[in-house]
Amino acid sequence: MKRIVPFLLALGTLLLVAGCGSSPKPQAEVAKPKELPSWYMNPPSNNSIYLYGLGDGKNQEEAVKNALSNLASRLSVTVESQYEVDTTIKQGSSNSFAQTSKRNLKSDVAKIRISNYEIEKTEQMKYNHYIVLVRSDKEKFYNGLLKELDVKLSRAEEQKKLHATSNILKQYTFLKETMEGMKESMTAILVLNTLNEAFDDKAYLGRIEAMNREFDSVSKRINFVVKGDSASSGMIEPIRVALTDSGLKVAPSTNNDSLIVQISTRSEQTSGMGFIIARMVVNIEVKTAQGKTVGGNKLMINGHSPQSYSQAQENGAKKLGSMIAKDGITTILGITL
C-alpha cells in the first residue's frame, strides 16, 4: 500500500503535465487588409480646371506612370466623343493623311506627353503596392502642348527652307519623314480643341496643309531611271518592279528630277556538286541627274543550274528579287526614302 500511493502521485503529476502541454496555443490575429481610400474608390471627375488620373504599381514611380496613362485615356474618351475626324489633308497624291479613326484615336492621345501634373494623393497599401491620384492643370497642359506644337511646326518649316536647294532625294526623304511626324501634330490639335473651346485650329491646319502640298509636289516630280550593262539585263526588271510597288515612278528617260540607278555586273563561271555556278558581283550606283552620287551598293550573288551558265545567271537574277523582298528596295539601292 505504501508503494502504491507514491506511484499514483507520480502518475497524476505526469498526466497533469501532459494535459498542460497539449492545450492549444492562442492563434495570432490575422491583420485585416487595408481598405482602399474613398478618393481611389470614387475618384474626382475631370472639370473645367483639372484633369485626373488614377494608378497603382509596385512603387510610387510606377503608380504615377500608370496614373498619367489613365489620365490620357480618360482625356481620349472626351476627344473621341467630341470629334469625328475629317480626312481633308492628304499625303502624296493618293494616300490619305492623318486618317485618325475612333479605333486608334485613344492610342494616339495616349502618346501625348503630360509634363504638367501634380500628385494629389498617394498611399502605400502594402510593401509592394502603391496607389496614386494625379491631376493636371488644364490651362498649363494646354499652354505646354500649344508651345510644343508651335516649336515643332516652326522647326519643320525652317528645315523645309534649308532643303529647298537640296537634291530631289533629300527633299523627298525630309518631307516624307516630316509628314509622318505631322500625324502627332494632328492629334495634338484635336486635344487642344478639347482643352480649350476658344482654340482656333485653322492657322495650324493651314501650315500642315502647306507642308503637305510641298510633299505632294516633290512626290510627283521624283522619278527613277534604271540602267544596266549587258551583263545586268536580268537585274534591271526586279529593281523596276520593286520601285513601282513602293509607289515610286519609274521613267523611261532622264529629266532634272531623275535618280539614275546604274547597274554593272561581273560574272565568272565555276562548278561544283554537279552544278554550273555563276558567281556575280553586282555594283549598283544611284546618282542624281546632275551627277551627284546619293547611294549605292555591292551585292555578291551566286546562281546555280545543272544545265547551262546562262541559266545559272538567270537564276542569280531571280535571287536578286528574293533579296529585295527580304531586305527592301532602299537597302538594296543603299538609299533612304
Taken as a whole, the chain contains a residue count of 337
> What local confidence, expressed as pLDDT, does residue 298 receive?
97
Instruction: Give the CA distances from residue 247 to residues 92, 113, 183, 206, 220, in Å, rounded to whole numbers and listed in that order.
Output: 10, 33, 20, 26, 11
Give the largest Cα separation in the chain, rounded: 134
Interatomic CA distance for residues 294 and 337, integer angstroms: 11
Given the candidates 3.10.28.20, 3.20.20.70, 3.40.50.1100, 1.10.3450.40, the CATH classification of the domain at 38-86+97-137 is 3.10.28.20
Query: Measured at the alpha carbon of residue 240, what is the angle toward residues 238 and 245, in degrees to the nearest 5?
Result: 95
Question: What's the pLDDT tens digit per position in 223-244?
Answer: 999 999 999 989 999 999 999 9
Interatomic CA distance for residues 224 and 233, integer angstroms: 17
Interatomic CA distance for residues 128 and 125, integer angstroms: 8
pLDDT > 70 fraction of the chain, expressed in percent and rounded: 84
Say if CB 80 and CB 102 are below 8 A apart: yes
- When pLDDT is averaged across residues 78-97 and rounded to a whole number, the result is 52
Interatomic CA distance for residues 100 and 117, integer angstroms: 27
Q: Which residues pair with 288 in a beta bridge?
A: 259
> What local confidence, expressed as pLDDT, does residue 265 receive?
94
Give 328's DSSP letter: -
Interatomic CA distance for residues 89 and 162, integer angstroms: 24
Q: Which three cell numbers stand for residue 69?
A: 496613362
Say if CB 85 and CB 105 are below 8 A apart: yes
pTM for the full predicted model: 0.76
Give the domain ranges of the chain: 38-86+97-137, 140-221, 224-333
Phi-psi region of 328 (alpha: psi -120 to 50; beta: other; left: phi over 0): left
- When pLDDT is averaged across residues 207-221 and rounded to a whole number, the result is 94
The stretches of the chain forming alpha helices (DSSP H) are: 4-21, 38-41, 60-82, 102-110, 138-163, 168-195, 202-221, 233-245, 309-327, 329-333
Sheet holding 129-137, edge to edge: 50-57, 129-137, 118-126
Question: What's the pLDDT tens digit per position in 3-56?
Answer: 555 544 554 555 445 555 555 555 555 556 678 999 999 999 999 999 999 999
Mean pLDDT, all residues of the chain: 86
Q: Which three cell numbers stand for residue 92?
A: 502624296
- Per CATH, which fold does 224-333 belong to? Double Stranded RNA Binding Domain (3.30.160)
> What local confidence, expressed as pLDDT, does residue 115 receive?
83
Report which of 79, 75, 68, 195 is spatially closest to residue 138, judged by C-alpha positions: 195
pLDDT > 90 fraction of the chain, expressed in percent and rounded: 66
> What local confidence, expressed as pLDDT, does residue 9 receive?
52
> What local confidence, expressed as pLDDT, does residue 78 receive?
84
Give 164's DSSP letter: T
Phi-psi region of 301 (alpha: psi -120 to 50; beta: other; left: phi over 0): beta
Question: What's the pLDDT tens digit per position in 269-322?
Answer: 998 888 899 999 999 999 999 999 999 999 999 999 999 999 999 998 899 999
> What local confidence, expressed as pLDDT, does residue 108 receive?
82
> What local confidence, expressed as pLDDT, does residue 102 receive?
53
Name the pairing type of β-strands 50-57 and 129-137: antiparallel
Residue 77's pLDDT band, with cuts at 50, 70 and 90, is: confident
